[in-house]
Amino acid sequence: MSQESGVRGQGSGAQSTNLPIYQSTNSPIYQSTQKHTIIGTSPQRIEGREKITGAAQYVEIKRSPLAHAKILEIDVSKTKALPGVRVVITGEDYPGYTGLYLKDRTLFAMDRVRYVGDAVAAVAADSEEIAEQALDLIEVVYEELPPVFDPEFGASPAAPLLHPNLGDYECVPFILPQRGTNISNWFKVRKGDMEQGWAEADLVYEHKYRVPHIQHVPLETHVCQRNLIATALGIGHSQLRVITPHVGGGFGSKAGVSIEGAAVALAMHARGRPVKLRMTREEEFYTTFVRQGLVAYVKMGMTKDGRITAMQNRFYWDGGAYTEYGVNITRAAGYSGTGPYYVPNIHVDSFCVYTNHPIGGPMRGFGMAEMHFGIEQHIDQMAHQLGLDPVAVRLLNCLKEGDETLTGMIMHPTGLSQCIEKAAAAIGWQSSVGAGLAPAQGGRPQGIAPTSHKVRGKGLACMWKAPAMPPNPGSSATVRLNEDGAATVSIGGVDLGQGALTAMAQLAAEGLGVKIEDVRVNTVDTDYSPYEWQTVASRLTWSMGNAVLAAADNARTQILRTVADAWGEDINDLDIIEGQVVSYKTEEAIPLRDMVIYGLQRPDGTWIGGPVVGQGRFMPEYVTPLDPETGQGPRAVVHFTTGAQAVEVEVDTETGQVQVLKIVSAYDVGRAINPDMVKTQMEGGAVQGMSTALLERLILDHGVPRNPNFTDYRIATAVDAPLETENIIVEVPQDDGPFGARGVGEHPMVPTAPAIANAIFDAIGIRLDSLPITSERIWEELQQRAS
């Protein structure tokens, strides 16, 4: 059944078609309070269904059709009486709260629903038909409450409270909920003297930018996560086993729990019947994490020679109904809130705000793409107003080694300047790159002149991003040697298509001294795999890589000690090369297969050694707390990966269509463990960023998703991809990375949208401050300008 027919014209259970949405922070409008008794199939047809199948067992999930309402009654008596129904569960069965950073949600709604699609109950039955019939018999009585659909309004005292008990929720120490408000986290930076910064500036400019909700749309829909499910159900981690096969992408959407816990809860009551959760594509669009929306105010002061003197930014993050993960996105935006630039005087407020939208969560870039969309356009606008070259302005202000970041951290060695220069040169930027701050000619790089009705322009944007995580996320690994001398590596991180297994095999081979074809990396089984915090934050190459290197080194040390003892040699004269232990002193050699299981015999006939199993672990021990009032501290994060993208576009002035001709990506990755995979990450991220810039938006009408399908929600395909990409690796080693490596999985998506926006402005002189920058919007702007 279509989305629209599920919402409208279904009697008392349907949401009214004339319910107002809040439009302005100055004139709030609310829905009137109404009561709704929900019986039958119509309400949950808004969102489609989840089907959990296995051993003749089928599951349906009852969901809310309303964005915000009290649950007055849930009557499941008729459902339980239906023959063939095995299990019925509601929020009362599992009242425990769960959440990674802020425990603000339960598996099923308890006292109220907070977004269209909030899970209310689940039914498991012997057949799909019985399950659907059983679901129809569940009666839910709601009392509708005023909704919040705008984060800026949601942060104001006038907004209705969506989580009245926010002040009682459990959270980690670095998240700061504001009791009695809808602000689930408020991160502040206060540095320098703002009055002095504004006084020193020759130009002060402020502008507002908007970024909508979008979906991750991984080709494979959702599975489970062990830690949060175990916590929510009140069972020990050892009692919950998760076996992870190869997973088809995530982009952040699979970092937490959506409704996977329902599968475990149902299985616990199903008397041994296996239960498997399968999200439909429609559900994937809005009942799992979506990327948070953002309203950003950027204010900047700049001297006539291009030096940034002050920056004051306010970020209102549309966190949705529950913000257990979104609160840390807000924090990451706060401690990164100036972009990768040195600014002496800074005032940043980053608010995570509850709304009655789908649950906002992590997406590739973790808030950086949204935040940089405004900052990187803002720098371009100010450069043009002052008659300066935007590339040269960035080179003047970008962070260099030894600069102080906005939180007081001293910047580690970084190749950002090289990234800017290389990206600009590769795109053919001809206005004053590397030659001071001479004005660009008319804001258009030389040689880019309009021809016919198609005109071209070039744009550039920078970025930085740290692994957004707690201060103590751990990684562990084992390296086990087998009878044939090959190594088996066990890790806890998941390969989502980013090449983690290959990178770990390379690190283990290099660290141990064997050929890469003699290394096998296991996929995850929580009964046997070592611990890994999460597969997020572009951290596996760095963090898990350090653990794998430590495990390989531990195994290598065991081997060399055994050989040194058996041969009577100094361990420093021994090495492992291509699977053989060699002596530089005697030139003797022995294959690993001859000694890593059964050991070696000493000259006196006794034996030494035995099975070799190396263990390794890594956890950063140097991240410091930040002052909650100023955001200042010695080391806010482990490190930043920096980079730049340059884009050339062609705009058809008759239709508004944008063709991306070329994207150049340049990133400082510290050390490229696998250069080919690094470049494919750059290419894939740039195309995904282009898709969000030009095409993507989750349309929410009074909280109801209107385009939860690939027909109405467009993503870039091969037809839309840039005609040319160029990917440039810059290597300035990271002191704590394996062989100097830093992560680069998320970063290539971050600067693409502002780079494209800057290129469109360069081509046609039109600046669009919200996403997506569709051909329709460009055409409308061109028509308005012409008239």
Catalytic residue among 421, 731, 746, 781: 746
Residues near 622 by Cβ (< 8 Å), separated by ≥ 6?
635, 638
The answer to whether the CB of 185 falls within 8 A of the CB of 175 is yes
Asked if 91 and 61 count as a contact pair (C-beta separation under 8 A), the reply is no
What tokens appear for 451 in the block?
A: 């021809």
Kind and range of the H or E run holding 391: helix 390-397
Contacts of 714 (CB under 8 A, 6+ apart): 695, 696
Torsion angle, alpha carbons of 107, 112, 116, 121, to 10: 40
Q: Are 646 and 429 in contact (CB under 8 A)?
A: yes
* One-character DSSP codes across 167-192: GGS-B-TT----TTSSEEEEEEEEES
Nearby residues of 627 by Cβ (< 8 Å), 6 or more positions away: 633
Cα-to-chain-centroid distance, residue 644: 19
Q: What is the DSSP code string of 702-763?
A: TTEES--STTTS----TTTS-SEEEEEEE----TTSGGG----SSGGGTTHHHHHHHHHHHH
Q: Are 48 and 59 in contact (CB under 8 A)?
A: no
- Tell me, what DSSP letter sits at residue 127? S
CA dist., res. 466 & res. 407, Å (int) = 13
Q: State yes or no: is 139 an active-site residue.
A: no
Q: Measuring CA to CA, which residue among 366, 137, 127, 131 is closest to residue 253?
A: 366
Distant-in-sequence, close-in-space partners of 272: CB < 8 Å, separation ≥ 6: none
User: What span, in angstroms and rounded, lies between the C-alpha atoms of 426 and 446?
Assistant: 14
Distances (CA, A) of 13 to 44, 87, 122, 227, 619: 10, 25, 18, 36, 52
Mapping DSSP to helix (H, G, I), strand (E, B) and coil, where does residue 375 land?
A: helix
Tokens 């283990």 belong to: 508
Residue 130 DSSP SS3: helix
- β-partners of residue 142 are 36, 71
Q: CA 383, CA 376: separation in Å to the nearest integer?
A: 11
Using an 8 Å Cβ cutoff, are 143 and 33 in contact? Answer: yes
CA distances from 195 to 189, 198, 206, 352, 405 (A): 16, 5, 15, 27, 20
Cα distance between residue 753 and residue 336, in whole Å: 18
- Kindly state the tokens that stand for 209: 């930018």
- Indicate which residues carry an active-site annotation: 746
